[in-house]
Amino acid sequence: MEAVIALHNVRKSYQDFHVLDIARLELPAGIYWLQGENGAGKTTCMKVMAGLIPFKGEIILQGNVSSHRQPVAFRRLINYAEAEPLYPSFLTGRDLLELYLGTKGGNRQQVMELGERLGVTGYMQNPVSTYSSGMLKKLSLLLAFTGNPLLILLDEPLITIDKQALAVLYDLIRAYSANGVSFCITSHQPLDQRELPVSGTLRVAAKNIALV
Ligand SMILES: Nc1ncnc2c1ncn2[C@@H]1O[C@H](COP(=O)(O)OP(=O)(O)OP(=O)(O)O)[C@@H](O)[C@H]1O
């Protein structure tokens, strides 16, 4: 089966500090748990996969969308939610959602319903500077589920959100996964296999990523 994402000779350095050196990694569709020690390179790997920071090498989605040759199409197919999201403080949640709907596409009605389920609707009209860390995290998760992504990267999605939002998040991951969307999730806490049917574990170590 065609890999959802394939990394070929991917190298990432911050100035002359080398963080990633991945000769080849090809992942079939699924839900992956990305593990590694603090500072191993998980967040860097996600930012590279999402096409958000420059890197050497090439990433191909579904065998035909290249990070270098089709950067816009590439970025539309991958969504990323940061571990500790930061947005310009004067923007409202609604401003950000409109921006995402405009650039990522997707069904407005469906996204609004999702916002309702996650419990963000009540504060969407307020500037993000007024949000608590959990409120910000829920907004970032809503944005990660906006559009028509092939792969969703969730960096520490379980931290700071309340029990109700957590149950919705697990539900969403399972439903999207059943519709063919793949996930790559970092979490220092164990993932509950009953809630999240993880298909594989990816380990970041010694600058490489391996499916273990
Ligand atoms: N913008 C940056 N400039 C310089 N070095 C950076 C930058 N971002 C990350 N690093 C370094 O790259 C390495 C990997 O960082 P990264 O954030 O990817 O690790 P991580 O596996 O996500 O860690 P954690 O589990 O602590 O979140 C670390 O040594 C870090 O110091």
Mutate to test the pocket of ligand 1, among 15, 19, 153, 204 (most ligand atoms within 8 A of CB): 19
pTM: 0.97
Q: Is the pLDDT of residue 1 over 90?
A: no
Q: Which domains does the chain have, with CATH numbers?
A: 5-211 (3.40.50.300)
- Note whether 40 and 192 are within 8 A (CB): no
Judge if the beta carbon of residue 189 lies within 6 A of ligand 1.
Answer: no
Cα(152) to ligand 1 centroid in Å equals 20
User: How far is ligand 1, taken at its centre, from the CA of residue 148, in Å?
Assistant: 29
151 with 78: CB under 8 angstroms? yes
Q: Is the CB of 19 under 6 A from ligand 1?
A: yes
Say whether the ipTM exceeds 0.85: yes
With a 6 Å cutoff on the Cβ, whether 203 touches ligand 1 is no
Cβ atoms of 154 and 124 closer than 8 Å: no
Per-residue pLDDT reduced to its tens digit, 61-118 = 999 999 999 999 999 999 999 999 999 999 999 999 999 999 999 999 999 999 999 9
Å from CA of 106 to ligand 1 middle: 32
